[in-house]
């Protein structure tokens, strides 16, 4: 931040020229921060997507395990039922040896037949459940292989991102600090407008210089009268096509030379 902006800010009177200088300076700092983020590329989003996919696969694995556990418990219950039916068949067969009439014998015979049917039904259910368990295990194996691959991908992406962040962390922190310090010298209304324009601009440029009589953002020609108004620094002029704040080359060069000195 230039001394003349600081001194004027302290007196609570900031000229339009100084506001434009502060805005242009802020834009230069924020553009440097943008470049650092571009170096990281899509890595943060890729890491986030992989984390979401892994969380989904882990949930899927947990659901598979829960379903498998239910079928395994069902098989245990049916095996227990078969054991109980065999015990009853043995009991009824022994009772048949001591019956007093045909009616009792027939009744026990029907009970034995019923228990045999129960055993057959349980065996069928066990076979179906084991088939389902095999299917679940196959799905679990496929999901687990995919999970392991995604975890490896995530580890690699995180390592790459950590390396890039480590290289640029100090520079980015310094620039963010400069950006925050610079914002103090810009009135709230103007700062809000600057941030809104930056957010909507594809390249993040809210303040641009005039280049060859055209807007440095959208490259549309600027009418001569508007160019004169911009050079006078009496009011803040925005591009009528893209809405960016415009500064002339003299102001931009003056700010650049002050930063270099």
Task: Decide if 252 contacts 215 (C-beta within 8 A).
Answer: no
Per domain, the residue ranges of the chain are 3-40+187-260, 43-167
Task: Decide if 140 contacts 59 (C-beta within 8 A).
Answer: no
- 80-83 long-range contacts (CB < 8 A, ≥24 apart) are 81/118, 81/122, 82/118, 82/119, 82/122, 82/123
- Architecture label for domain 43-167: Orthogonal Bundle (1.10)
Q: What is the pLDDT of residues 21-70, one digit of tens each?
A: 999 999 999 999 888 888 777 888 899 999 999 999 999 999 999 999 99
Q: What is the pLDDT of residues 193-249, one digit of tens each?
A: 999 999 988 889 999 999 999 999 999 999 999 899 999 988 999 999 999 999 998
What is the value of pTM for the model shown? Answer: 0.57
């Amino acid at each position: 931040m230039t001394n003349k902006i600081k001194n004027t800010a302290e007196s609570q009177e900031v000229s339009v020229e100084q506001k434009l200088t502060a805005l242009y300076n802020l834009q230069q700092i924020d553009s440097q921060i943008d470049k650092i983020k571009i170096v990281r590329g899509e890595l943060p989003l890729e890491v986030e997507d992989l984390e979401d996919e892994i969380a989904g696969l882990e949930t899927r694995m947990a659901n598979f395990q829960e379903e498998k556990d239910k079928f395994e418990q069902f098989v245990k219950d049916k095996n227990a039922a078969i054991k109980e039916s065999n015990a009853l068949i043995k009991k009824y067969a022994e009772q048949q040896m001591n019956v007093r009439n045909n009616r009792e014998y027939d009744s026990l015979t029907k009970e034995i037949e019923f228990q045999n049917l129960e055993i057959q039904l349980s065996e069928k259910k066990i076979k179906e459940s084991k088939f389902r368990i095999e299917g679940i295990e196959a799905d679990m194996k496929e999901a687990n292989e995919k999970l392991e691959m995604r975890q490896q991908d995530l580890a690699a992406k995180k390592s790459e991102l950590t390396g890039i962040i480590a290289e640029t962390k100090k520079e980015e922190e310094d620039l963010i600090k400069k950006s925050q310090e610079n914002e103090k010298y810009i009135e709230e209304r103007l700062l809000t407008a600057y941030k809104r324009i930056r957010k909507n601009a594809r390249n993040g440029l809210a303040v641009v210089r005039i280049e060859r009589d055209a807007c440095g953002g959208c490259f549309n020609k600027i009418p001569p009268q508007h160019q004169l108004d911009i050079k006078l620094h009496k009011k803040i002029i925005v591009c009528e096509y893209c809405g960016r704040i415009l500064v002339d080359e003299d102001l931009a060069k003056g700010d650049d030379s002050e930063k270099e000195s």
